[in-house]
Structure 1
Amino acid sequence: MSNPTELLKSRYGEVPFNPEIAWNESLTTLLTHRSVRSYLSDPLPPGTLETLVAAAQSASTSSNLQTWSVVAVEDPQRKEELSKLAGNQAHIRQVPLFLVWLADLARLSYVTDNRGFSHDALDYLESFVVATVDATLAAQNATVAAESLGLGTVYIGGIRNHPAEVAQILNLPPSVYAVFGLCVGYPNPEVPAAVKPRLPQEAVLHRETYKLTEQEEAIAHYNDIIKEFYTQQKMNIPGDWSEHSSKRVATVQSLNGRDRLREVLHSLGFQLR
């Protein structure tokens, strides 16, 4: 599918605007993103992993500090262990390649120690944020690259359910934590994944200044669109986006153990001053 109108309709549940630009395959790849949760066991062609990492390293990085790393997990037993820690998600076991994206301040600590410098700035929240953002930008580049090659992906935030245990399995040094995982593999054609509509641009695009209450109409409209999507996809999700999202943040239990993240990060060497 490369027709801009059809792509926009899939992404929003309607056609919100008519782009008067020269469309290209990069835009098509971006707008057709979907979360794939069922994979074939087929191996990836040689050089795939390295190409994805090259794409990741082409992402922007704050001050060229490059405060991220990635662990490529292909061993079935290790994938099994990570799957259990991330909520027993079967697709982690299915995929030939599971990437764990890391916020990595250890490398800078190592470099500055070797050069005889202190690294006091790494103890502050800003450095933690920089490393997390760096890892996220890198991972998104790799995701787009993978999807451009016909591969499927899905992010695994559940990797933060048990960060200390994940760190042990991956042999992470102090000042490194797993931000999220990423499944990479060939989608199972028998379990097709649909493009999920997003909020209207009127809810997320603000011109000049932020306006909260003016989003109400756009959110109400989206609630209708997503309910129809849930019905079409036979997804057992009660209510609409507002109800579903509210329930997801209503109690600390919905964090699946991540309410202890600050405490665990301290134990992993992040001071977060």
Structure 2
Amino acid sequence: MPNPVIQQMLERRSIRNFSGAPVSDKDLQIILSAAQQAPTSVNGEQISLIVTRDKDTIRKIAQIAGGQPQVASAEVFITILIDFNRTANAVAMAGEKQLIDQCAEGLIVGAVDAGIMLQALQMAAGSLGYGTTAIGGIRNNPQALIELFGLPPRTFPLLGTTLGVADPDKLPRIKPRVPLESFALNERYDNDKVSAGIRDYDVTLRHWWDAQGQFDMPSYIQSTTNYYKVDYFPTVGEALKRQGFGLIDIKS
């Protein structure tokens, strides 16, 4: 039998229907404190959170994210920010000027740390019995979120997570994944295994949707194609520029 942590990870699912039961202040503080222990690159702590409990504001976030009911019905919404404003202040205290927010490496660092933070928040929440869903849809209109939160330059709302008590009558099934052998590749990248895994997973996911009566949901190949043949959030780059971010390599 897996230990409780592994079991929780194996049973992870995105919760899109909440019961309306409250998230206690004590539990929320535990979740935030536990997540804050997540690692950040060079211990720069270039991540900040905006924790939203006001229902009117959560509904505004839902609209910014494209009108998502799963966001609007959450008891808490946590926005994960890349925060090079904090580090810029630290560098200024040393009498120097920060450059990392102008570099491609800076954006990668911020994105990696934001992803780690998302996992930490969701694991902590799940351990206390709460449901969550990762929301990348806030990048549908990042400028609106920047203005809603009054974000300073060198910060950017990368993604967020809902938080609430799952509706026990509407729990989704655990979604399957690509075959392990096409995901965890031994020693070298194997495109044949990756391609075979795509074909297998396309069939598996089709059966998974059909078993739930969701016959109109696209297969893996079609869903991925629908998203990745276009730039589905085409204002992200401009919003990053307005926030002062660059995407260059600076040679010392």
TM-score bracket for the superposition, by shorter chain length? over 0.9
Does 1:109 pair with 2:76? Answer: no
Query: What residue is the counterpart of 1:196 in the other structure?
Result: 175
Aligned equivalents of 2:104, 2:229: Cα separation in 1: 26
SS at match of 1:182: strand
160 and 111 in structure 1: CA distance in 2 versus 1, 3 angstrom threshold: same
| Mapped contact 2:142–2:235 kept (Cα < 8 A) | no
267 and 187 in structure 1: CA distance in 2 versus 1, 3 angstrom threshold: same
Does 1:185 pair with 2:164? Answer: yes
* Alpha-carbon shift at residue 38 of structure 1 (Å): 0.7
Aligned equivalents of 2:140, 2:45: Cα separation in 1: 25
Aligned equivalents of 1:97, 1:243: Cα separation in 2: 32
| Mapped contact 1:58–1:138 kept (Cα < 8 A) | no
* Alpha-carbon shift at residue 271 of structure 1 (Å): 2.0
| Mapped contact 1:166–1:178 kept (Cα < 8 A) | yes
Quick one: which of 134, 140, 144 aligns to 1:155?
134
Aligned equivalents of 1:190, 1:99: Cα separation in 2: 25
* Alpha-carbon shift at residue 236 of structure 1 (Å): 3.6
251 and 201 in structure 1: CA distance in 2 versus 1, 3 angstrom threshold: same
Aligned equivalents of 1:210, 1:110: Cα separation in 2: 41
83 and 239 in structure 1: CA distance in 2 versus 1, 3 angstrom threshold: closer
Identity %: 26
| Mapped contact 2:27–2:128 kept (Cα < 8 A) | no
Aligned equivalents of 2:81, 2:216: Cα separation in 1: 32
Does 1:27 pair with 2:6? Answer: yes
* Alpha-carbon shift at residue 169 of structure 1 (Å): 0.4
One-letter amino acid of the counterpart of residue 7, structure 2: T
One-letter amino acid of the counterpart of residue 240, structure 2: L
What CA deviation, in whole Å up to 9, does each residue of 1:192-221 have, x standing for no partner? Answer: 211000000122111111011233333222
SS at match of 1:52: helix
Equivalent residues, number: 248
Quick one: which of 223, 235, 241 aligns to 1:260?
235
Aligned equivalents of 1:161, 1:272: Cα separation in 2: 21
Q: Quick check: 90-99 or 25-34, which moved more?
A: 90-99
Matches within 5 A, 1:1-273: 23-238=2-217, 240-252=219-231, 255=232, 258-273=233-248
Aligned equivalents of 1:224, 1:121: Cα separation in 2: 44
TM-score, with normalisation over the residues of structure 1? Answer: 0.86
Aligned equivalents of 1:239, 1:133: Cα separation in 2: 29
Aligned equivalents of 2:130, 2:114: Cα separation in 1: 20
| Mapped contact 1:73–1:98 kept (Cα < 8 A) | yes
Aligned equivalents of 2:202, 2:95: Cα separation in 1: 57
| Mapped contact 2:182–2:194 kept (Cα < 8 A) | yes
Aligned equivalents of 1:191, 1:121: Cα separation in 2: 44
| Mapped contact 1:163–1:178 kept (Cα < 8 A) | yes
Aligned equivalents of 2:156, 2:230: Cα separation in 1: 25
What CA deviation, in whole Å up to 9, does each residue of 1:150-170 have, x standing for no partner? Answer: 110001110001111101101
TM-score, with normalisation over the residues of structure 2? Answer: 0.93
| Mapped contact 2:131–2:166 kept (Cα < 8 A) | yes
SS at match of 1:132: helix
SS at match of 2:21: coil
123 and 189 in structure 1: CA distance in 2 versus 1, 3 angstrom threshold: same
Aligned equivalents of 2:83, 2:215: Cα separation in 1: 38
